[in-house]
């Protein structure tokens, strides 16, 4: 199987050690050495094999961070702390998740980790760009063009990380060369300069990366994602016409299309009674299929090869149904699977979610009020709302769970609806494919690949750009392409505003887009969090105007002794 994951184990021993050596070495004589018969930071990326190791290391690091909840991981910032969600398991302030912006301090773990991983990947990218740039084209199969493919992929990741950092922290240092020695005089460059550098990087990537379907392996970056994020960056720079041009090229030139027919491994296996093309998009093994014309950038997760992996954090979406306890007539409510001589209390259709990312009422109810019965994204197989008792010893066996049936009433009704039962988007589940921990139906671990970007998001991004130029009819046309696939009623041009587009993004991209980045770009973060984040313990997430940006990690300010590095307002 020709995938970038096959060589990750080699990278961990060889490639990453070179980066750490480069970071940690203070011995200038070591840096001056010219090794000829062993690999080092000076010669590791001067050949195509070395460049591949370097770019695969970056992919691996991004994959690791992507699925975390403490770094920049989409498995947290996709919903929590926004208008879309909060931690239902422990909804109070003071936890690892962003329930309350009062927790947003310069020493908070997520503030520090997000900053660190961003600049770590930027350093890795800069090393690769620098070394491959020095390489002899003769050492690459495609010569100078081949060199530029690796440089372009590294520049894509550099810009991608700057996207996350600039949105989160505002003005930050723009670093385009490797840091080779200790440095304590960094300065915060204006955010406009950051975005201008991102434009240069995404442009280079869009011109030098392979076209979609021509990449060397699944998961490698192509021109399509580079153009998408170039368009997004133009929106950050308030240049919507350029955003239209870039996104239109991605939309028109590469054969991307929304999936409108059923496909892949879920055919004939509709666990929840039905299915549709949207449901199929998230089926195990479906992300990389050639017929999937909607996939643009897939984070690779493969359990059955050396160097493969798993998603240990997809469990955060979905209720802790297994904690319900007893039926109204006093029997165990969820019997679960029979394993090793006993019933586990977990089902292999829902796995073991933990309620760390509970949706708001906007997500589960308000978004669907005008299309409740016709929008298939709200159908039971995509947004499961009904759960059933599972115990033949009870008179309630196979009946819908209903907390009003209990007499006396249950002792913690808040936990019942915040933690134990609430709707679950089945895009996060992997029915009957939980390969590990059969005693816990996978233990919250899944093995599906995940969309970092799919075509529907590019259509909605262009709609945003059309709206910014006053072309509401064209904006509505792009939105309706997405809605039509799910049988939702078309929207008329006069109804399209930025809030409508944000609502449509939530319907289509819940748990996929980085919602905090989207809300900052559109200037809607404070307004919509206050309006829709209905965590009963932290209403509106206690967000305040200065929380539009996060604080700079305190340690980075304290260590930068040779230049002023001011803290963001409100966190001094």
- Reduced to 3 states (helix: H, G, I; strand: E, B; else coil), residue 172 is strand
Indicate the residue among 427, 448, 469 that finishes a domain.
448
Structure confidence at residue 444 (pLDDT): 87
Q: Is residue 17 part of a domain?
A: no
| Residues 253 and 335 placed together within one structural domain of the fold | no
Beta bridge partners of 298: 451
pLDDT of 268 reads 85
Residue for token pair 């670093």: 175
The predicted pLDDT at position 301 comes to 84
Tell me which residue range forms the domain holding 109: 48-258+551-559
Residues with Cβ within 8 Å of 456's Cβ and at least 6 positions away in sequence, in order, are 258, 294, 482, 485, 508, 509
The reply to whether 247 falls in a domain is yes
Q: Compute and round to an integer the Cα radius of gyration of the chain.
A: 24
Q: Which residues pair with 390 in a beta bridge?
A: 334
Task: Please give the pLDDT value at position 308.
Answer: 65
pLDDT, tens only, 297-334: 999 987 776 666 777 677 889 999 999 999 999 999 99
From 182, 189, 116, 188, select the one nearest 555 (Cα to Cα).
116
Give the list of residues 6+ apart from residue 204 with CB closer than 8 angstroms, or none.
151, 152, 155
| 83 shares its domain with 179 | yes
**pLDDT reported for residue 20:** 39
Given 448, 479, 506, the domain boundary residue is 448
Question: Do 97 and 193 share a structural domain?
Answer: yes
At residue 88, φ and ψ (nearest 5 deg) are: -80, -25
List strand residue ranges (DSSP E) for 310-455, in order: 338-339, 342-343, 358-359, 383-384, 424-425, 450-454
228 in a structural domain: yes
- Give yes or no for a contact between 560 and 183, defined as CB atoms under 8 angstroms apart: no
**pLDDT 10s digits, 71-82:** 776 656 789 999
Q: What is the pLDDT along the chain (572 residues), one digit of tens a residue?
A: 344 443 333 333 334 334 433 444 444 444 445 554 555 667 788 999 999 999 999 999 998 888 776 677 665 678 999 999 999 999 999 988 899 999 999 999 999 999 999 999 999 999 999 999 999 999 999 999 999 999 999 999 999 999 999 999 999 999 999 999 999 999 999 999 999 999 999 999 999 999 999 999 999 999 999 999 999 999 999 999 999 999 999 999 999 999 999 999 988 888 888 999 999 999 999 999 999 999 999 999 877 766 667 776 778 899 999 999 999 999 999 999 999 999 999 999 999 999 999 999 999 999 999 999 999 999 999 999 999 999 999 999 999 999 999 999 999 999 999 999 999 999 999 898 888 899 999 998 888 899 999 999 999 999 999 999 999 999 999 999 999 999 999 999 999 999 999 999 999 999 999 999 999 999 999 999 999 999 999 999 999 999 999 999 999 999 999 999 999 999 99
Do 338 and 242 fall into the same domain? no
Q: What are the C-alpha distances in Å from 412 to residues 68, 97, 290, 345? A: 30, 22, 49, 21
For residue 342, being part of any structural domain is answered with: yes
Question: What is the number of residues in the chain?
Answer: 572
320 with 253, same domain?
Answer: no
According to DSSP, the β-strands at 342-343 and 295-299 are unpaired
Query: Does residue 178 sit in the same domain as residue 57?
Result: yes
**238 and 340 both lie in a single domain:** no
- Tally Cβ neighbours within 10 Å of residue 257: 13
CATH value at residue 185: 1.25.40.390
Q: What is the pLDDT of residue 27?
A: 45
**Residues ≥6 apart with Cβ < 8 Å to 252:** none
Q: Is residue 195 part of a domain?
A: yes
Residue 224, both tokens: 């399509």
Question: What are the backbone dihedrals phi and psi of residue 180, each rounded to the nearest 5 degrees, phi first?
Answer: -105, -20
CA distance 478 to 285: 28
140 within some domain: yes
Look up residue 314 and give its DSSP letter.
Answer: G
Pairing of strands 424-425, 295-299: unpaired
Check whether residue 128 and residue 232 sit in a common domain. yes
Is the pTM higher than 0.85? The answer reads: yes
Regarding whether 323 and 245 lie in a shared domain, the answer is no
pLDDT of residue 189: 98
Burial environment of residue 426 by CB neighbours within 10 A (0 to 12, 13 to 18, 19 or more):
buried
Place of tokens 């030139």: 253
**Strands 342-343 and 424-425, sheet pairing:** unpaired
Verify that 100 and 247 share a domain, yes or no: yes
The pLDDT of residue 123 is 97
**Does some domain include residue 477?**
no
Residue 146: inside a domain: yes
Could you tell me if 326 and 240 lie in one domain? no
Q: What is the pLDDT of residue 15?
A: 41
Q: Are residues 252 and 320 in the same domain?
A: no
Q: Which of 428, 448, 468 is the last residue of a domain?
A: 448
**Domain total for the chain?**
2
């Amino acid at each position: 199987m020709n995938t970038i994951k096959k060589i990750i184990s080699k990278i961990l021993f060889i490639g990453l050690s070179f980066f750490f050596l480069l970071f940690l070495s203070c011995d200038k004589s070591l840096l001056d050495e010219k090794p000829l018969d062993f690999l080092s930071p000076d010669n590791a990326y001067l050949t195509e094999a070395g460049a591949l190791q370097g770019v695969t290391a970056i992919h691996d690091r991004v994959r690791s961070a992507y699925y975390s909840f403490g770094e920049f991981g989409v498995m947290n910032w996709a919903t929590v702390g926004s208008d879309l969600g909060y931690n239902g398991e422990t909804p109070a302030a003071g936890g690892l998740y962003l329930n309350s912006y009062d927790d947003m301090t310069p020493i908070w773990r997520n503030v520090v980790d997000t900053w660190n991983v961003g600049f770590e990947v930027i350093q890795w990218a800069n090393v690769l760009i620098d070394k491959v740039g020095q390489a002899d084209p003769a050492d690459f199969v495609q010569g100078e063009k081949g060199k530029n493919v690796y440089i372009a992929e590294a520049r894509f990741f550099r810009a991608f990380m700057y996207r996350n950092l600039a949105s989160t922290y505002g003005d930050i240092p723009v670093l385009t060369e490797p840091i080779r020695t200790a440095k304590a005089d960094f300065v915060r460059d204006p955010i406009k300069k950051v975005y201008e550098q991102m434009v240069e990087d995404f442009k280079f990537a869009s011109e030098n990366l392979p076209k979609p379907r021509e990449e060397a392996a699944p998961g490698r970056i192509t021109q399509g994602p580079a153009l998408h994020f170039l368009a997004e960056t133009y929106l950050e720079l308030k240049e919507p016409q350029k955003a239209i041009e870039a996104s239109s090229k991605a939309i028109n030139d590469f054969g991307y299309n929304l999936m409108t027919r059923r496909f892949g491994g879920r055919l004939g296996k509709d666990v929840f009674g039905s299915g549709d093309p949207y449901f199929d998009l998230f089926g195990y093994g479906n992300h990389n299929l050639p017929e999937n014309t909607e996939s643009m950038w897939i984070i690779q997760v493969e359990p059955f090869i050396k160097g493969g992996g798993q998603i240990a954090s997809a469990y955060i979406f979905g209720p802790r149904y297994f904690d319900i306890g007893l039926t109204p007539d006093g029997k165990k409510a969820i019997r679960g699977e029979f394993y090793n001589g006993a019933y586990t209390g977990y089902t292999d259709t829902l796995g073991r979610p933990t309620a760390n990312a509970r949706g708001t009422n906007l997500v589960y109810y308000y978004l669907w009020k005008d299309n409740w019965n016709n929008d298939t994204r709200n159908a039971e197989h995509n947004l499961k709302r009904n759960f059933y008792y599972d115990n033949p010893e009870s008179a309630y066996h196979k009946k819908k769970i209903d907390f009003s049936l209990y007499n006396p009433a249950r002792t913690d009704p808040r936990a019942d609806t915040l933690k134990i039962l609430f709707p679950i988007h089945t895009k996060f589940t992997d029915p009957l494919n939980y390969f590990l921990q059969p005693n816990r139906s996978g233990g919250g671990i899944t093995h599906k690949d995940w969309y970092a970007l799919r075509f529907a998001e590019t259509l909605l991004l262009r709609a945003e750009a059309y709206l910014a130029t006053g072309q509401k009819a064209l904006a509505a046309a792009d939105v309706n392409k997405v809605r039509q696939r799910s049988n939702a009623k078309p929207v008329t041009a006069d109804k399209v505003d930025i809030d409508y587009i944000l609502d449509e993004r939530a319907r289509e991209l819940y748990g996929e887009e980085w919602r905090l980045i989207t809300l900052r770009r559109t200037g809607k973060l404070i307004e919509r969090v206050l309006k829709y984040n209905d965590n009963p313990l932290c209403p509106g997430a206690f967000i305040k105007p200065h929380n539009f940006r996060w604080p700079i990690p305190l340690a980075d300010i304290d260590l930068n002794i040779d230049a002023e590095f001011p803290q963001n307002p409100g966190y001094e």
